[in-house]
């Protein structure tokens, strides 16, 4: 029932519309027109104004013709860098779509968008009975989940939400994802001439190095990770480094473990700075909360029934990454994240199988039918 060629053509169209985070205006305009042509009532919230972006989140509603659970389907419009001037290539031999190798492909997350659009069209064209359907195409998911954080939740009243934004093939149901703390550190030492009087200086890089040497990092346990991601500092080789900025993170499926890991990192930095006589400023922000949906929850059963209709075995999984799913659950909208098949996301080697794009659209249609 899915129009495969139309679906693929639309995916190719969407990935060629530049939409880096905060600059989703062009693709939003196109998507509003597509949703209205399908018959949706469409609005744009003010999330863009709150983050100084080109547009807000797209919120669309398709009125149902029978009772049933209200469903929300969501994907994000933005892509990571380098994501401008994308030139998709269909590899007929392998059945995949990839970029030309100079950019990402943008299947994260325009494969999800294309699948949702095609499913809605088939619902309308085949006169398939359905309950109320809502769609959110969010802004600025990459690097902050800002669209979901500033979504106008007064316009969303779905019973269940399905976010199409995971790398597994259709059949994957993400029911668990971690919380994340963003940790920003500034170490202020003391400059000195590195050749004449280095002993009079306090090296910010030495403070950072000693702290990290005594810090638990990377894989902490099966639920917890931590990483030092960015280090910036220094003026010249002949000056003992006076200042250093560090951007780090910690994640865990357990907020208790996350608190413990973050406190460990903060206290290690503070203790080391004191030992060297350096000044330290640390800012910690909880970027997002974890979510955990029970294996036997109705939303999971609904997804598994849809996959069963497709002769696909639905299976649950957890992930170490955050998504709009975290924010939806935090705001009282029960949500799971579904695999759509994008591979090597956030790299120049990103690709997606055409079969997975097609199955993602069928997946959405079957969930709608079963709700």
Catalytic residues: 78, 141
Contact 137, 113 (CB under 8 A): yes
Q: 77 burial class (0-12, 13-18, 19+ CB within 10 angstroms)?
A: buried
Contact 324, 149 (CB under 8 A): no
d(CA 111, CA 22): 19
- Rounded to the nearest 5 degrees, what angle is found at the Cα of 289, between the Cα atoms of 170 and 28? 55
Residue 130 CA to its chain's centroid (Å): 28
Beta strands in the chain (DSSP E): 41-44, 58-62, 71-76, 89-91, 96-98, 133-138, 160-166, 172-177, 179-188, 218-221, 224-233, 243-252, 279-288, 291-292, 315-318, 335-339, 351-353
Contact 335, 352 (CB under 8 A): no
d(CA 320, CA 68): 33
Residue 194: how many other CB atoms lie within 10 Å? 15
């Amino acid at each position: 029932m899915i129009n495969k060629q139309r679906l693929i053509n639309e995916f190719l169209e969407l990935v060629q519309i530049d939409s880096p985070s905060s600059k989703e205006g062009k693709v939003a305009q196109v998507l509003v027109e597509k949703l209205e042509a399908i018959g949706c009532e469409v609005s744009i919230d003010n999330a863009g104004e709150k983050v100084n972006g080109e547009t807000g989140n797209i919120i669309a509603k398709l009125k149902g013709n029978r009772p049933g659970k209200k469903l929300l389907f969501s994907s994000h419009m933005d892509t990571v860098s380098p994501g401008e001037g994308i030139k998709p290539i269909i590899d007929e031999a392998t059945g995949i779509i990839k970029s030309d190798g100079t950019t990402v492909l943008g299947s994260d997350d325009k494969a999800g968008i294309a699948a949702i659009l095609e499913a809605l069209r088939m619902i309308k064209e085949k006169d398939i009975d359905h309950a109320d359907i809502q769609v959110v195409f969010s802004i600025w998911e990459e690097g902050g989940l800002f669209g979901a954080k500033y979504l106008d939740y007064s316009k969303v009243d779905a019973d269940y939400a399905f976010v199409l934004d995971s790398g597994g093939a259709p059949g994957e149901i993400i029911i668990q994802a971690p919380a994340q703390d963003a940790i920003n550190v500034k170490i202020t030492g003391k400059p000195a001439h590195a050749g004449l009087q280095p002993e009079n200086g306090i090296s910010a890089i030495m403070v950072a190095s000693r702290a990290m040497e005594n810090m638990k990092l990377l894989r902490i346990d099966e639920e917890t990770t931590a990483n030092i991601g960015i280090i910036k500092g220094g003026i010249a080789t002949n000056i003992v480094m006076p200042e250093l900025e560090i951007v780090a993170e910690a994640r865990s499926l357990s907020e208790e473990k996350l608190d413990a890991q973050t406190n460990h990192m903060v206290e290690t930095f503070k203790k080391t700075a004191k030992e060297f006589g350096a000044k330290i400023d640390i800012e910690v922000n909880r970027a997002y909360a974890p979510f955990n949906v029970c294996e036997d929850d109705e939303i999971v059963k609904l997804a598994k029934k849809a996959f069963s209709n497709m002769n696909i075995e639905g299976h649950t999984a957890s992930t170490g990454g955050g998504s709009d799913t975290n924010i939806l659950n935090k705001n009282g909208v029960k949500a799971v994240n579904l695999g759509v098949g994008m591979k090597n996301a956030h790299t120049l080697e990103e690709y997606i199988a055409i079969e997975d794009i097609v199955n993602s659209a069928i997946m959405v249609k079957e969930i709608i039918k079963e709700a």
